[in-house]
Amino acid sequence: MIDPQKIDGVAMTVFIAFFALVTVLGFVAARWKRGDLSQLHEWGLGGRQFGTLISWFLVGGDFYTAYTVIAVPALVYSVGAYGFFAMPYTIIVYPFVFAVMPKLWEVCKRKNHITAADYVQGEFGGKWLPAAIAVTGIVATLPYIALQLVGMQVVIKGLGVDGEIPLMLAFAILAVYTYSSGLRAPAMIAFVKDIMIYIVVIVAVSVIPAKLGGYGALFHAADTFFAAKGGAAGVMLKPSQFTAYATLALGSALAAFMYPHTMTGVLSSGSANTVRKNAIALPAYTLLLGLIALLGYMAIAADVHVKSASDVVMALLSRLFPSWFVGFSAAAIAISALVPAAIMSIGAANLFTRNLYKPLIAPDVTPEKEARNAKLFSLIVKFGALLFIVVLPTQFAIDLQLLGGVWILQIFPAVVFSLYTRRLTSAGLLAGWFIGIVTGTALAISMGLKPVYPLQLGGVTYPVYIGVLALAVNIVVSVIVSAIMPRTRAMTAVAAGR
């Protein structure tokens, strides 16, 4: 529903102008770095020709999303220091990318692998382990796309527009230019998106503290607020939060580049050296994330009160900045939903086409039909994500995304360990994956879909991220079953051929 009295005309005009700009860029992208978009590697990986600068914006664009900008300050606003767990996990993840991803890129480039499941199939053969990897990636991605819609919905609501119609229109536009331009569209838009977000955050962290008495006043206000609130919230971690904080950071770091969208961003790079350079440069986004998180404390100091913590960023900006900057900020956050949503849908479409449709349904599919099917499935994925928001409660998408993080972590042994050892087998990894999925899901359900489980050891309770517990079980099962059922000679030959 649109209430004209609630809408700020200046803010809405600026928002629409920048949204129109990225829409045009999305369609123009089909002509950028020309390639045959009837081929899946061109449509779904941009022809593997993105250099360091483009890859930096692209990977940053799909890693730091609209929901990140909305949810991280909201979490800090609600629980304080615990909400900063996203900081150490991004610090951990980039050395991992530097060490592991160039090696994976080289194998995938040499063997024309487009997805992580392609790589696993090339290493182990067979259909079922790659299919498990593909299904996990697709299921984990769907609620992730839905959360980008949540972020956009919060922004549109902050501009005075309720209802799903504007959301549907925005994602219809996204669907069309992603279908026509493939990965080139989000790669081009990522330039605009990241520059806009940097401007918003730098202005906010410079202007807001100055208006509120400086950073000392911000932290003092937050400390007073959490002290009055009571409980575990505070500007410093409580000892009882240490293991939860550490394992959340570790598990999130290990899972981050297992998602189809981040994997797609890496595999679209022009060389292994490009991947290494990006791992060195991407920590600049960690600084940005830390500044974004501080918006939660700024909202406390500015005495912002909202019904839902997700509204805190837009409420803070609307209170302290002129209308044109609010419109610019809203556009930046909304565009931060478009870029990752496009890459996520492309990554999921690549998995479906290469690792489910082709091996299980149509082994003789032509490259042209393969690309057409991927384009069609990318539309279906977006439509499915939209249904999450329109039909189901928002909390359902949030809960399923938390489960998705646990699930995607279970493909880590198959994708990463196989780069360094021949001892694990397809049967072992499939058994480990299955037990990890079941264990993680059962523990999460037992905790009411909360991400942390109280593990008791020696009479002491340690809150631990469920994804890490499930991964530990996964690894143990994978090792034991692989020892019992060693690789056949044929599979050893397949792996040695890489």
Q: What is the CATH number of the domain that holds 25?
A: 1.20.1730.10
SS (H, E, C) 189-253: HHHHHHHHHHHHHHHHHHHHHHHHCCHHHHHHHHHHHHHHHCCCCECCCCHHHHHHHHHHHHHHH
Helix (H, G, I), strand (E, B) or coil at 462: strand
Residue 397 resides in a domain: no
Which residues make beta-bridge pairs with 456?
461
Classify residue 459: in a domain, yes or no.
no
With the C-alpha atoms ordered 406, 410, 415, 417, is the resulting torsion angle positive or negative? positive
What pLDDT score was predicted for residue 466? 94
Q: Quick check: is 432 in a domain?
A: no
Residues 332-367 as b/e (b if ≥16 CB within 10 A, e otherwise) read: bbbbbbbbbbbbbbbbbbbbbbbbbbbbeeeeebee
Going by the DSSP 8-state scheme, the letter that residue 161 receives in this structure is: B
Q: Is residue 347 part of a domain?
A: yes
The total of structural domains in the chain comes to 1
Q: Is residue 436 in a domain?
A: no
What's the confidence (pLDDT) of residue 493? 47
Calculated CA dihedral for residues 147, 75, 77, 214, nearest 10 degrees: -100
Q: Which pLDDT belongs to residue 5? A: 55
Q: Please give the pLDDT value at position 394.
A: 66
Q: Which residues pair with 479 in a beta bridge?
A: none
Which residues, other chains included, contact 478 with Cβ-Cβ below 8 Å and sequence gap of 6+? 413, 417, 424, 428, 429, 431, 432, 433
Q: List all residues 6 or more positions away from 206 whose beta carbon is below 8 Å from its beta carbon.
A: none
Burial class (CB in 10 A: 0-12, 13-18, 19+), 81: buried
pLDDT for the residue numbered 353: 92
Q: Which domain holds residue 308?
A: 9-392
**Could you tell me the two tokens for 275?**
């991947």
For position 359, what pLDDT does the model report?
A: 85
Residue 145 within any structural domain of the chain: yes
d(CA 117, CA 124): 10
Burial of 216 (0-12, 13-18, 19+ CB in 10 A): exposed
Q: What does pTM read for this prediction? A: 0.88
Q: Is 482 contained in some domain? A: no
Is there a domain that residue 437 lies in? no
pLDDT, tens digit only, all 498 positions of the chain: 455 556 767 888 888 888 888 778 777 765 666 667 778 888 888 888 888 888 888 887 777 777 778 888 888 888 888 888 778 888 888 888 999 999 999 999 999 999 999 999 998 888 899 999 999 999 998 888 888 887 787 888 777 777 677 777 777 877 887 887 788 888 888 888 888 888 988 898 889 999 888 888 888 988 898 888 877 777 888 888 888 889 988 998 899 889 998 899 899 898 999 999 988 888 888 888 888 888 889 999 888 888 888 888 888 998 889 989 988 988 888 888 888 888 888 999 999 999 998 888 888 888 888 888 988 998 888 888 777 777 766 666 677 778 888 999 999 999 999 999 888 999 999 999 999 999 999 999 998 888 889 988 888 888 999 999 999 999 999 999 999 887 654 455 445 455
| Distance from C-alpha of 399 to C-alpha of 312, rounded to nearest angstrom | 20
> Helix, strand or coil for residue 464?
strand
Task: Report which DSSP code applies to 322.
Answer: -
